[in-house]
Structure formats: C-alpha cells, structure tokens
Amino acid sequence: MRTILATLLPLELLPLLIIAGGLALVVGARRWARSLFAFAAMMLVLPIILDPLIDALPWWLLLPLVASAAFALLGAVASFIVGPRAAPHLIALLTADVIRWAWLTPFRLLRWLLIR
C-alpha cells in the first residue's frame, strides 16, 4: 500500500533516492539500499512501458482501472490514518457504499422522472 503513495513522488526526487540508497549502502543497510535503487529504477522504467499501454486502452476499460487505483490509494491513506488492521474494514465499508450507490442511482433517477 505504501508503494502506491510512493508512485506519486515527482521525478525530481530521483537523485535523492539514489543518494539515500548510496548512504544506506555506506551505513550497511543493504535491504534499504536495494529497495531504494529498485524504486528509482522503476520510476524510470514504468512510465515508458505504461504510458503507451494506458493510451491504447478504451475509456470504458480505463474507468475500472482508475477506480481500483483510487481505492488502493484510499487504502494506503486509511492504513496510515486508522492503522493497518482497521483499514481493510474501512475500505470494505466504503466499497459497499459505492456499489450500493451505483446500483440504486438508476432506480432513484427513474423514480424522480416518474414522480415529476
């Protein structure tokens, strides 16, 4: 979940990630260094691969992808705010509300049109 928030980092932060990875190597934190270098590499490689793929997708297929990314981002923020154990419950409740709203909205519109 934290990696989703990390993808929102600007590209200008890339030198700082590489410097932090080098500092982690000097200190002896090899896991941190490896993850920082891998994240810096992914920040460079993924836009090259994903931009043409996302541009080629039709709008009706892009909507569920954007919705799932929004829920994943919401999950990361909820995990930060309420904690990792309560976040899945919060996301499940919000997802159920969105599905209920999407299911009931056409019927409410129809009722509004018929009553009016």
Question: For 84-106, how does the pLDDT look when each residue is reduced to its tens digit (9 = 90+)?
Answer: 888 888 888 988 998 999 999 99
What ranges do the domains of the chain cover? Answer: 1-56, 57-116
Question: For 20-68, how does the pLDDT look when each residue is reduced to its tens digit (9 = 90+)?
Answer: 889 888 998 888 888 888 888 888 887 788 778 878 888 888 888 888 8
Q: What is the reported pTM? A: 0.53
Question: For 8-22, how does the pLDDT look when each residue is reduced to its tens digit (9 = 90+)?
Answer: 677 788 888 888 889
CA pair distance 44, 55, nearest whole angstrom: 18
Intra-chain end-to-end CA distance of the chain, in Å: 46
Q: Which residues are CB-neighbours of 18 under 8 A, at least 6 positions away?
A: 36, 37, 40
Mean pLDDT of the chain: 83
